[in-house]
Amino acid sequence: MLKTMRKNVQSLKWVLWLVVATFILSIFFIWGLSGEGLFGKSAATSALASAGRERVTAAAYTQALRSRIESLKTEFKEINRGFIEQLQVPQQVLQQLIEQALIFSLAREMGIRASDEEVAAKIMSFPGLQQDGRFIGFQEYKRRLQYNRINLGDFEDSLRKEIILTKTVQILTAGVTATPDEVWDAYKKSKDSAKIEYLALEKSKVELDKKPEAAEVRAYFDKAKETYKIPEKREAAYVFLKNDDLKKEVELSESEIEKYYKDNQAQFQVPEKVKVSRIFLPFAGKDKTLVQAEAQAVQTKIKAGGDFAALAKTYSKDDKAKDGGDWGLYDWRSLAQPEQDAIGKLAAGKVSDPLTQDSGISFLKVTEKEAAATTPLASAKPQIRSMLQDQKARQLATERITRLEKEAKAEKSLEAAAKKANFKVASTGLLKSGQELGDFDPSGSISAALFQLKEKDISGPIYTYGGVGLAQMNKSEAPRAATFEEVKTDVEKDVTEAKKKDAALAKIKEARAKLTDKNWEDIAQKYKLEIKTVDEHKKEQYIGIIGENKEVDALAFSLPLKQISEPIAFENGYALIRVLDRKEAAKTDFEKDKETEKNTLLESKKNKFLQSYVAKLRTEIGVKVKYDLYLQINQEILSRFETEK
C-alpha cells in the first residue's frame, strides 16, 4: 500500500519544463511570504543547496515543501508527519529544486535569456491575471500582487525563470522523436487490459514446524558469506538538548494561543466523517443466477431487520467480511466509483439497494455520518499549547546549540566548549550510517550526519524528532567482511525466510493440482490463500499483494482464457493467476487518437531524456547540500503535523 502511495506522490513530480510560477500564488495564499518567519531573513536567503553558480535558497525550499504538503492534504485528506516522511516528500522536493538549478546552470552557460518583452507577454497571459479572456491591466495586476503580499520583483523573476527553463528544455529535447510503431505500442499499452483473478500465498503466512538447525544456518552462511558485510561505522562525542527538557522553560500567554488559532483556521477544520460497511457477493467462479438469488435472500434479511454485521460475516466474500463488513472511515474510498457514489447518497443508518457490477453484487451501509465542523478554540487549546511549546523549545535549543557550535569550532573541541557551557558530553559508540541513537533520534539523523564529516570535524546543529544536537567525529572503522558470530541472527532469519518461501511454493503447487474452474473459493479457504480479482489489469500496473510483476504482465496477455498459470514468484511469496477476459486496442480507435497519443509519448520520452541529461549534469557540475539546514527546515515544518491524526 505504501509503495503504491509513494508512486502516486512521485507522479505529482513537476515536469521540469513547467516551473514554479504556476503555483506561486497558491503558496503565498496558503503559507505567507517566505521562510523568514522560521529562520530570519539571512537564513531564508542563504543557500540550502548549490549547483555550479545556481543556488536553492532556504526560502525557496520552504515554500516548495509547504506547497507540496498542501497538495497532499488535498489528495489524501488527512496526513501526519509519519505519512509525509514515509512518502519521502522532503527528499523529492529538494531533488526537484536541485534539478531545476542544474538546468538553470546550463542555461547560463548557453547564454539563454528572457527579454523584458517576453516577461511582459507572460504576465499578460498568466491565468490568474485574466478577466473575461483579457489581461486585467498592469495597474490592477500590481494592486492584486500588493493585496496578496506578493513581491512584484519576486513574481516577475519567477516568470523570467520559467521562460528561460522552457527555452532550455526545448533546445535540449528538440531531437527527440516518436516513430509510428512506438506510438502504436504505447497506445496498446494504455488501452489493452485483462480481467484477472489470482490466488496468493505470502511467506509471512507460512509457519514452520521448527527453527533451522545450527548446522543448516552455518552451511547457509559458508555458501553466501561474501554477501554478509559489516559496514563502515563511526563514533563521535555529542551534546544533545531534548525538547521535553526545554519545554519547562517556555512560557505561553493566552493571547499567543488565540492568535495561532485565528491565523491557522484551516488546521482546525474537521472534514466530514463517513463510516461504511459492505456485504459483497462475487460472481467469480459462480453461476450469476445463483449469486443474484443469494443477493435477494440477503436483501430480504436486511429489510426484516437482520444485523448487517452478522450478515456480512455469513455472506460477504471480501477481506473485511471477518470484521462484519466494516470498511471504516477511510478504506471504503478505495472501492469502485459506483459504490462510492452510492455511499454518497446514503444517510446514516441506511442501506443501499443491491448494486450490481462486473465483479459481483454489493450492499452498502453508512453506519456513521458526521458533518464537517471546526474544532472550537477551547478544544484546540491543548493541541496549540503543545505545538507552540515545542516550537519555542526548539528555538531555544537551536540558539544554545548554535552558540556552542561557534565556541567548539573556536576551541576545536566540543568537549572543552561543552565544559565551559556546563553541557553534558556523551559518546555515540560506533554507529552505522542512519542507525538510531536513543529514543531521541529514532530516524538516525545524528549517525547520518557523522558520515558527512572528516575526523575531528564538528558538525552544525543536527535536528531530530527529540531535539537538537552537536557532534564531533572522533574515529571510524572501515567496512569489512562479517564473521559468522557477528551476523548469526541475520543468517538465521535469512534461512527461515528461504524455507518459508519454499514451503509457500510447495503449498501453492499442491493447491494448483486441485483447482478447477468452479472451486477457487473453496481451494482458497482450504489452503488459506488470498483470492483477488483485478477488473482491468494493464502492463506495468501495481497489483495488490503481488506488486509489479513482468511475468504476470506477460501471462495476462498470452495465457488462454480461464487457464491456470504455473506458480508465479513475487517478492514475498507465490501466486496463481487466470485470465477471465481481455480487451484489446482497436486500430480504428487508434486512428482517431493517434495525434494525442503521439504528443503524450513525445512528452514522456522528452522527460526521460531530460532526467538522464540532468543526472549527467549533476555529475559534471556537482551539487552541494547543507544537510543541517535541510534537517532544520524539515523539523520546523513537519513538527506542525506531529499531533495531527
CATH number of the domain encompassing residue 352: 3.10.50.40
Same domain, 210 and 172: no
Q: Are 70 and 93 in contact (CB under 8 A)?
A: no
User: Is residue 415 included in any domain, yes or no?
Assistant: yes
Same domain, 70 and 130: yes
Q: Are 351 and 363 in contact (CB under 8 A)?
A: yes
Domain count, the chain: 4
Same domain, 339 and 387: no
User: Is residue 524 included in any domain, yes or no?
Assistant: yes
Same domain, 391 and 537: no
pLDDT over 70 at 26, yes or no = no
Q: What is the pLDDT of residue 630?
A: 84
Give burial (CB, 10 Å; 0-12/13-18/19+) of 491.
buried
Query: Distances in Å between the alpha carbon of 627 and those of 9, 48, 614, 617, 622?
Result: 23, 8, 21, 21, 16
Query: Distances in Å between the alpha carbon of 125 and those of 35, 136, 141?
Result: 29, 10, 12
User: Is residue 132 included in any domain, yes or no?
Assistant: yes
Q: Percent helix, strand, coil in the chain (nearest 5)?
A: 55, 20, 30
**Which amino acid is residue 552, in one-letter code?**
V
**293-297, 531-535, 564-568: range with highest mean pLDDT:** 564-568
Same domain, 506 and 549: yes
Q: What is the pLDDT of residue 371?
A: 83
pLDDT over 80 at 9, yes or no = no
Average pLDDT over residues 133-144: 85
Confidence of residue 337 (pLDDT cuts 50, 70, 90): confident
User: Is residue 592 included in any domain, yes or no?
Assistant: no
First-to-last C-alpha distance (Å) of the chain = 19
Domain end call among 480, 510, 528? 480
Q: What is the pLDDT of residue 12?
A: 38
Same domain, 215 and 122: no
Average pLDDT over residues 330-341: 84
**In sequence order, which residues have a C-beta less than 8 Å from that of residue 510 and are 6 or more positions away?**
527
* Residue carrying C-alpha cell 554507529: 431
pLDDT over 50 at 8, yes or no = no
pLDDT tens-digit readout, 463-522: 887 889 999 999 999 999 999 999 999 999 999 999 999 999 999 999 999 999 889 999
Q: What is the pLDDT of residue 32?
A: 35
Residue ranges of alpha helices (H) inside 247-376 are 254-263, 288-303, 308-315, 337-344
Average pLDDT over residues 256-282: 86
Q: What is the pLDDT of residue 200?
A: 96
pLDDT tens-digit readout, 433-463: 989 998 888 888 899 999 989 999 999 888 8
Q: Are 316 and 360 in contact (CB under 8 A)?
A: no
* Residue carrying C-alpha cell 466474500: 317
Residue of 265 and 585 predicted with greater confidence? 585
Same domain, 15 and 99: yes
User: Is residue 597 included in any domain, yes or no?
Assistant: no
Q: Are 593 and 216 in contact (CB under 8 A)?
A: no
Same domain, 466 and 567: no
d(CA 535, CA 337): 13
Same domain, 140 and 6: yes
Same domain, 357 and 429: no
Q: What is the pLDDT of residue 580?
A: 95
CATH number of the domain encompassing residue 247: 3.10.50
d(CA 241, CA 20): 37
pLDDT tens-digit readout, 188-204: 999 999 999 999 999 99
Domain residues for the domain of 417 are 230-251+379-480
Q: Residue 608, Cβ neighbours under 10 Å: how many?
A: 11
pTM: 0.60
What is the average pLDDT value for the chain, to the nearest integer?
86
Q: What is the pLDDT of residue 642?
A: 65
CATH number of the domain encompassing residue 164: 1.10.4030.10
Write the DSSP symbol of residue 209. Answer: S
Domain end call among 480, 495, 528? 480
User: Is residue 497 included in any domain, yes or no?
Assistant: yes
Domain end call among 336, 371, 406? 371
Chain-centroid distance, C-alpha 103: 25
**In sequence order, which residues have a C-beta less than 8 Å from that of residue 587 and are 6 or more positions away?**
none
What is the grid cell recorded at 61? 525550499
d(CA 384, CA 543): 41
Same domain, 435 and 366: no
Angle between helical axes of 152-172 and 587-621 (0-180°, round to 10) = 110
d(CA 465, CA 82): 11
Angle between helical axes of 587-621 and 180-191 (0-180°, round to 10) = 100
φ, ψ (nearest 5 deg) of residue 96: -70, -40
d(CA 639, CA 362): 42
Q: Are 342 and 355 in contact (CB under 8 A)?
A: yes
User: Is residue 51 included in any domain, yes or no?
Assistant: yes
DSSP secondary structure letters along 14-57: PPTTS-THHHHHHHHHHH-S-SHHHH-HHHHHSEEEEETTEEEE
Same domain, 279 and 361: yes
**339-343, 402-406, 634-638: range with highest mean pLDDT:** 402-406
d(CA 490, CA 498): 12
User: Is residue 495 included in any domain, yes or no?
Assistant: yes
Chain-centroid distance, C-alpha 380: 28
Q: What is the pLDDT of residue 77?
A: 64
Cα angle: 11, vertex 333, 552; to 5 degrees? 60
d(CA 622, CA 579): 50
